[in-house]
A and B are shown apart, each in its own frame.
Chain A
Amino acid sequence: MQTTTRIKLALLCLASIVAADGLEAYIRLPKVSIDTSNAEKVSEGAAFFKERCFTCHSMKYLRFDDVSLNAGINPKDAPQWSKDSWKGHPPPDLSLVAITKGVDWLYGYLKGYYFENGSYDNIMWQNTAMPNPYPDLQGKQKLIMTPEQIRAFHPRFYQVVKLDTSGSISAHAFNDKIDALLHYLVYASDPSVEERHSFGPMVLIFMMTLSLFAFLLYRDFYRDFD
């Protein structure tokens, strides 16, 4: 590479361009909180993942994870894609997606498919290469704001799309499924949470007791100067 090109490239990086052209930057997402200690939800989500996502997406870092294996998500059976498949955008691995994209964004994306001009698009990722994985369950959503309105008003997520024709399950049941899926994706991104939180309190109590005794020792020594 030429020096000038390299400097230009570096400057390009330094300039830190923000991709602000997408509509998602103007939508206010709900704050989603997920408690992965809810084991039932997590395995429910794993089952839903196996059913709707695992046909295209892998979970390659969860090789020996009981929750995943019980649901039939085994990296050995994961779909293999070449670099050129899907016009050069093969479905990514989702082991860490809850960290890299954030839960709020995932919620918006998973619920963001709307039907317009005979095809589905996603409000959180315009022209996404990923087809709607559950039009039968969710039904058809439609966009109820124009892109101009979205840019102008910074609406909340629920103000942007609306259910037009219902799917095979109720909207409430569909929400539950998405909620379970989010539980599984968050769990998959860091399965250490359970273990961390199980003996975290003991470690902290130990450290605080140690600190207390160290404080008493310190007070005792410094009493020499009172």
Chain B
Amino acid sequence: MSKLGDWLEQRLPIAGFLRKNLKEYYVHSSINFWYAMGAIAFVMLAVQVISGIFLLMYYVPTTEQAFSSIQYMMREIPYGWLIRYLHVVGASFFFIAIYLHMFRALLYGSYKNPREFLWMSGVVIYILMIAIAYTGYVLPWGQMSYWATRVIISFLTVIPYVGDGLAQWLQGDFVVSSVTLSRFFAFHIVAFPLVIFLFIGIHIVALHVVGSNNPEGVTVNAHKKPAKNLRKKVIPFYPYVISKDLFVVFVALALFLGVVFYAPTFYGFFLEHINQVPANPMVTPSHIHPVWYLSPFYAILRAVPDKLLGVIFMFLSLVILFFLPWLDKSPVKSMRYKGRLSRGSLCVFILSVIMLGYYGMVPATDTHLFWTRIFTVLYFGHFVLMPIYTRIETCKQPPELN
């Protein structure tokens, strides 16, 4: 056995690879439960892939049968409802994990030098997730699938000169039709997953090059065995951190399955009631809004009175994330050592994201629009003012590794 193992190891060094990346990958002992969110996201991705494969066996991507094929699957295939609910609730849990993961990065400055590229690859994954969630949302071909597609494709038409042609090229027809559905199907199950896997690979490779950040903001050499006096402060990923991750992942899965079994539509937040009506191009729903995880961006779109500017601001709200590593001029990484201004701004930012999420889901009355605009300004303010407030505030002295 060992001979065969050695033979294989010399040709395909799996054990060596795992040892180098798990057992001999060192992190600071201060890393806490916030650092397990990436592991949860990874597991949720696996849930999406596996449940997606089973959905694929029964789903029919045509406008006539898309809606009913899902209903029949949920009612007539053994555990069809389970597969469908796992996928639907899984999408929301994936986003919950990613939002917590991103919050962790903001909290402990995980985007700062030398982790700029790591952060940017993460933003790319996030944008791909939005694309994959949106194209997946279209597939059940319910009322909101259809009308949200019309609204979102109409964003393209605001681009001068080429907008109309671009919209037509994307939907493959003069209107949103069966052709649009089949190409979104192809994007959702093949194109975007392939790219997302690629970027997750890049994200993990980039992480292992620079090493994990930590709440104390201490620089740790991820690939060097720590000196004897540091053995309690610098710990290997395996078995310590991985045992913590395992525990958090199981708790998250318990919560996830609790929702799947007892509140799979989550009161219309994870699976909207209006989308249980088959698409009808003749009847516009009285109130069009996206799923909860995308609604902050929709709120920003609505906050701007001009349509072209609205679309621009919506994209800017995502694009600005790429510049975060260079907007933060603070000498320290973690919020534990940053000043009051940074902490306050982060709180205001989180509040504005939550409130924008709320205002993106309710009808746009005058009062709602007023507050949406205030929170849009606060959202951008967090980033735009960052070079100023991170320079002028007084920070505490972070500890050194010794």
Contacts and interface: CB of A to CB of B under 8 A. Distances in A.
Interface of A: 1, 3, 6-7, 9-19, 60-65, 95-96, 99-100, 102, 189-192, 195-197, 199-200, 203-204, 207-208, 210-211, 214-215, 217-218, 221-222, 224-225
B257 interface: yes
B364 A14 contact: yes
A7 B276 contact: no
Nearest to A93: B278
A221 B288 contact: no
A102 B247 CA distance: 38
A221 B154 CA distance: 55
Contact of B254 (A15, A189, A207, A217): A207
B253 A7 contact: no
Contact of B286 (A1, A11, A17, A63): A17
A203 B257 contact: yes
B175 interface: yes
A219 to B, nearest CB: 9
B257 A207 contact: yes
B170 to A, nearest CB: 14
Nearest to B232: A225
Nearest to A102: B273
Given A13-B150, A63-B76, A207 B250 contact: yes
A11 to B, nearest CB: 7
Given A13-B288, A211-B247, A211-B254, A7 B75 contact: no
26 contacts: A1-B175, A9-B150, A10-B307, A13-B151, A13-B284, A14-B301, A16-B287, A16-B288, A17-B286, A61-B72, A62-B75, A63-B72, A64-B75, A99-B276, A190-B81, A192-B74, A192-B75, A192-B85, A197-B261, A204-B258, A204-B261, A210-B250, A210-B254, A211-B250, A215-B247, A218-B247
B286 A19 contact: yes
B325 to A, nearest CB: 32
B157 A6 contact: yes
Contacts of A225: 29, 232, 235
A108 B59 CA distance: 36
A60 B67 CA distance: 12
B28 to A, nearest CB: 12
B244 interface: yes
A101 to B, nearest CB: 8
Interface of B: 29, 68, 71-72, 74-76, 81-82, 85, 147, 150-151, 154-155, 157-158, 163-164, 174-175, 232, 235, 239-240, 243-244, 246-247, 250-251, 253-254, 257-258, 261-262, 264-265, 273-274, 276-277, 284, 286-289, 301-302, 307, 363-364
B272 to A, nearest CB: 10
Given A16-B363, A204-B261, 19 more contacts: A3-B157, A7-B154, A9-B150, A10-B151, A13-B147, A13-B150, A14-B302, A16-B364, A17-B287, A17-B363, A18-B286, A63-B76, A189-B276, A190-B81, A191-B75, A199-B261, A204-B258, A207-B250, A221-B239
Nearest to B164: A3
Contacts of B307: 7, 10-11
A99 B71 CA distance: 13
A217 B242 CA distance: 10
Contacts of B254: 204, 207-208, 210-211
* Most A CB within 10 A of own CB, among B253, B254, B258, B289: B254
A192 B240 contact: no
A6 B72 contact: no
Contact of B251 (A1, A15, A95, A211): A211
Given A6-B157, A7-B157, A191-B75, A217 B276 contact: no
A62 to B, nearest CB: 7
